[in-house]
Amino acid sequence: MRGHDWINTCLPDELVVEIFRRLDSKRSRDACSLVSIRIGATGSPDLFVHLLSTRFSNVTNVHIDERLSISLPVHLQGRRRGVENSSASSLKLNYLNVNNGSEEGDLDSLCLSDVGLAALGDGFPKLEKLSLIWCSNVTSDGLASLAQKCSSLKALDLQGCYVGDQGLSAVGQCCKQLEDLNLRFCEGLTDKGLIELALGVGKSLKSLGVAACAKITDSSMEAVGSHCISLETLSLDSEFIHNQGVLAVAEGCPQLKVLKLQCINVTDDALEAVGASCLSLELLALYSFQRFTDKGLCAIGNGCKKLRNLTLSDCYFLSDKGLESIATGCKELTHLEINGCHNIGTLGIESVGRSCQRLTELSLLYCQRIGDVGLLQVGEGCKFLQALHLVDCSNLGDAAMRGIAIGCSNLKKLHIRRCYEIGTKGIVAVGEHCKSLTDLSIRFCDRVGDEALIAIADGCSLHYLNVSGCHQIGDAGVIAIARGCPQLCYLDVSVLQNLGDLAMAELGENCPLLKEIVLSHCRQITDVGLAHLVKRCTMLESCHMVYCSGITSAGVATVVSSCPNIKKVLVEKWKVSQRTKRRAGSIISYLCVDL
Amino acid sequence: MELLCIRQWISGLLPTVKKWLSAWCIKPVGGALVRQEPEYILLALMGSPLKKIMLCSSEKEIFSVEEQVMVQHSVIINNMIEDGSYNHEESKIPLDCVDSKTLKKVIDYCTHHTHHHNDNQEDLEAWDAQFLNVDSNGLYDLLMAANYLEIRNLLDLIYGTIKNMIKGKKIDEIRRIFNIKDHGFTPEEEEQNRKEYPHFY
């Protein structure tokens, strides 16, 4: 290894950043950025962006995320392959934002700045989609210069950027084809900017999202209602928006199809306006701590006859009556999610089962008041049900499972978690009747045993199975699955204390398509079983195996060397040898014990 | 013999044997001549009652070192011992990421800094400078080992050295020092850079 160039070839990105951080003068950092492309790309985003724009001319999508750790786009690492006229159209850059508030002088050059953004505009004039995630050094000036160059911009996503009103107005003036705008944690934006943008791109804007932007109020929404006649999607997460704002949009945007609200100050009046005016509404989602009552929901049920998708999350005041009104009014309903609405019980679900014959997906999360009768009715009425999610529904038992299994023979996806009353009998019924089932998850349903898996293996050809925490399941069940489900791609058997190497060997023998496996907390699995597994499962991409006391660094090395497609390994740091690290350092994630 | 008795016996002996032991105390460790304290030599002769742990390099060579020394410096080893995954009687800590040569040097660093933490700043800095008087490959090995074992002060020291190797130097010089033969810029880009920032080259 004489005269080895380790900075460019061996040193991990985080350490290159550390070296950069300690260069305390701008001159040193600028000089260092020019030493090699790898160092420059890692330490100097502005330079890097400038380089990218000279090398790739057809880029239409750029996504810059400064929350995550650094990774170079693959094509730049293979620099010999002639990147002059690359046909890449989409670039994703993840940058570590090292501005951790320390007084260590001028660290700003380590984040994307206005200069970089202007270079982006210069370099990619055909840009259509731009996402800037937590680029804290970007301001209005940068966005304005980019807007002036990129008139084809169709989608803009700003999260955690301190861009001001001038930036957004510039976009409104220059990017007349803008269809999609998403603003999240943009503390620098006020109504002025959004109003000017609405004026500018009102005709083209189809989708708008505003979340956690404290200075955007009802005035902006009124402007949106006045100018954005093509608006189809609106997503609002703000305590500064009241009925007035939502009303303005409901009355002004007749083509509204999707409405998502997480606004604690909005009440039934707004919903009534939506029910009266938004007759094209197809998706409605109401989240956390809303003050809505049945009155509002009934208005929706009476007015929005085309409603297909309804999500009610943590809406405490909604009860069975409101849900009944939706069920009888919205016969086209295909997706229903009820999450933590503690006043909705069996009666509401029964009415859904009776009236919503086209239901294809039902999610009941933290609904302790729903009993077996409700689901039995769903089984009888919703013949086209394809997906059922149940989390923490402690009143549901085997009878409910049987009812669903017998009635919904088209069921493809069944996810149950912590429904402690559901046991082996219920799952056996599923195995006997749901021949189309491909996706099964019964996490922590600890009354389910091996016979259930044997029945499932017999009747269904699963692609996805998660039995994490079902400690009664052992080798017998998993072996049956291995033999009966050759199409298996994803398997999670974590926390199963009775599972051993025999099952691993059987999986290796019979499931060659396996892509992801989670073995964490399985004490009885050893290097031997792991070796048998990876010998034949050559398509394996992800392996989680923390807290497996039977697995050693030899096992980890075997996984890394046997699986050519491996992308992620989660394991304890001290189980990774130097050679394994060299071979596959970037894909290995370590268990963090420092918390 | 109880630990306490041994210690008492040694401290009784020391004044008389210190002189002739001092002749034995010069021992080459990691390329530098280091004085071993007589107390420790004697304890080693007695069969170390001080708690030791065993570190195993990637070449399967075993190094015995005081637990206290490693725990003070390496966050990883400290965590391993704290969460009970290290059993003193039988196990050794496998450090498959570190080769014998580097591990020996790392142990020297930790041992020196633990035993000499009361020395004055200049002496310590001089020792550190001598310690890091290695070639580029050696520096890389030490950096990776210190990063893996999470030895904060050694890492700071190495980064400081690298910073000094970069600071104020021309780019061609930096490339030579770090053996960077293929910088990755296209000929056009390199020419453009040299035109725009001639004072860096």
Per-residue HEC secondary structure of A169-216 comes to: HHHHHHCCCCCEEEEECCCCCCHHHHHHHHHHHCCCCCEEEEECCCCC
Nearest-by-CA chain B residue for A35: B171
Q: Do A54 and B189 touch (CB under 8 A)?
A: yes
| pLDDT per residue as tens digits for the range B53-107 | 889 898 889 999 998 899 889 988 888 777 766 666 667 788 888 889 999 999 9
Q: Do B193 and A34 touch (CB under 8 A)?
A: yes
* pTM for this model (two decimals): 0.72
User: Using CA atoms, how far apart are residues A247 and A224, in angstroms rounded to an integer?
Assistant: 11
Residues of B in contact with A593 (CB under 8 A): 79, 83
Residues of A in contact with B168 (CB under 8 A): 28
What average pLDDT score do residues A565-585 get?
80
Q: Provide the β-strand partners of residue A59.
A: none
Mutate to test the interface with A, among B58, B70, B178 (most CBs of A within 10 A): B178
Residue B189 has its nearest CB partner, among A35, A51, A593, at A51
Asked if A419 contacts A392 with a C-beta cutoff of 8 angstroms, the reply is: yes
Interface of B with A in 29-58 (CB under 8 A): 58
Q: Structural domain boundaries of chain B?
A: 1-46, 52-166
Any idea which of A89-98, A142-151, A356-365, A456-465 has the lowest mean pLDDT?
Answer: A89-98
- How high is the pLDDT of residue A32? 86
* pLDDT more than 70, % of chain B: 72
| pLDDT per residue as tens digits for the range A300-329 | 999 999 999 999 999 889 999 999 999 999
Q: Is the pLDDT of residue B46 over 50?
A: no
Any idea which of A12-16, A133-137, A422-426 has the lowest mean pLDDT?
Answer: A12-16
Q: Is the pLDDT of residue A106 over 50?
A: no
- How high is the pLDDT of residue A591? 61
Other beta carbons less than 10 A from residue A538's beta carbon: 14
Interface of B with A in 55-94 (CB under 8 A): 58, 76, 79-80, 83, 93-94
What average pLDDT score do residues B123-136 get?
90
Strands B26-29 and B32-35: antiparallel
What average pLDDT score do residues B14-35 get?
48
- How high is the pLDDT of residue A61? 83
Q: Do B162 and A19 touch (CB under 8 A)?
A: yes
Residue B171 has its nearest CB partner, among A11, A34, A593, at A34
What average pLDDT score do residues A483-488 get?
95
Q: Is the pLDDT of residue A189 over 90?
A: yes
The contacts of residue A517 (CB under 8 Å, 6+ apart) are A490, A491, A492, A493, A533, A537, A540, A542, A543, A544
What average pLDDT score do residues A429-447 get?
94
- How high is the pLDDT of residue A545? 92
- How high is the pLDDT of residue B27? 43
Q: Is the pLDDT of residue B36 over 70?
A: no
The token duo for A115 is 């200069």
Going by pLDDT thresholds of 50, 70 and 90, the confidence category of residue A505 is very high
Which value, in Å, is the radius of gyration of the alpha carbons in chain B? Answer: 22
User: Using CA atoms, how far apart are residues B110 and B102, in angstroms rounded to an integer?
Assistant: 12
Helices B152-166 and A26-33, axial angle in degrees (round to 10)? 80
What average pLDDT score do residues B12-24 get?
56
- How high is the pLDDT of residue B93? 84
- How high is the pLDDT of residue B113? 92
- A78 vs B124, more confident: B124
| pLDDT per residue as tens digits for the range B181-192 | 888 888 888 898
> Rounded to 5 degrees, what are φ and ψ at A136?
-75, -10
Residues of B in contact with A15 (CB under 8 A): 143, 147
Interface of B with A in 143-172 (CB under 8 A): 143-144, 147-148, 155, 159-160, 162-163, 166-171
Residues of B in contact with A4 (CB under 8 A): 136-137, 140, 179
**Phi-psi region at A366: left, alpha or beta (left = phi > 0; alpha = psi -120 to 50):** left
* B52-166, CATH topology level: Potassium Channel Kv1.1; Chain A (3.30.710)
- CA nearest neighbour of A208 among A222, A198, A218, A200: A198
> Rounded to 5 degrees, what are φ and ψ at A84?
-55, -60
Q: Do B179 and A5 touch (CB under 8 A)?
A: yes
- A8 vs B2, more confident: A8
- A444 vs B45, more confident: A444
- How high is the pLDDT of residue A90? 63
- How high is the pLDDT of residue A4? 81
What average pLDDT score do residues A487-495 get?
95
Q: What is the mean pLDDT of chain B?
A: 78
- Nearest chain A Cα distance for residue B12, angstroms: 43
> Rounded to 5 degrees, what are φ and ψ at A125?
-65, -20
Q: Is the pLDDT of residue B33 over 70?
A: no
Q: Is the pLDDT of residue A331 over 70?
A: yes
Any idea which of A73-77, A417-421, B24-28 has the lowest mean pLDDT?
Answer: A73-77
Helices A527-536 and A501-510, axial angle in degrees (round to 10)? 10
Q: What is the mean pLDDT of chain A?
A: 87
Residue A5 has its nearest CB partner, among B95, B171, B178, at B178
Q: Is the pLDDT of residue A423 over 70?
A: yes
- How high is the pLDDT of residue A579? 75
Residues of A in contact with B170 (CB under 8 A): 31
- According to DSSP, residue A378 is labeled H
Asked if A105 contacts A24 with a C-beta cutoff of 8 angstroms, the reply is: yes
| pLDDT per residue as tens digits for the range A30-76 | 888 888 888 887 777 777 777 777 777 777 888 887 775 544 443 34
Q: Is the pLDDT of residue A164 over 60?
A: yes
Domains observed in chain A: 13-69+113-178 (3.80.10.10), 190-344 (3.80.10.10)
- B1 vs A183, more confident: A183
What average pLDDT score do residues A175-184 get?
95
Strands B93-94 and B52-56: parallel
The token duo for A390 is 């149940």
- A212 vs B38, more confident: A212
Residues of B in contact with A556 (CB under 8 A): none
- According to DSSP, residue A387 is labeled E
Q: Do A11 and B140 touch (CB under 8 A)?
A: yes
Residue A34 has its nearest CB partner, among B98, B155, B200, at B200
Going by pLDDT thresholds of 50, 70 and 90, the confidence category of residue A561 is confident
- Nearest chain A Cα distance for residue B54, angstroms: 15
The token duo for A18 is 């550390």
- Nearest chain A Cα distance for residue B174, angstroms: 7
Complete DSSP assignment for A218-259:
HHHHHHHHHH-TT--EEEEE-SS--HHHHHHHHHH-TT--EE
User: Using CA atoms, how far apart are residues A316 and A306, in angstroms rounded to an integer?
Assistant: 25
| pLDDT per residue as tens digits for the range B149-172 | 999 999 999 999 999 888 888 899
Any idea which of A54-68, A145-159, A227-241, A394-408 has the lowest mean pLDDT?
Answer: A54-68
What average pLDDT score do residues B4-27 get?
55
Residue B184 has its nearest CB partner, among A1, A25, A37, at A37
- A543 vs A580, more confident: A543
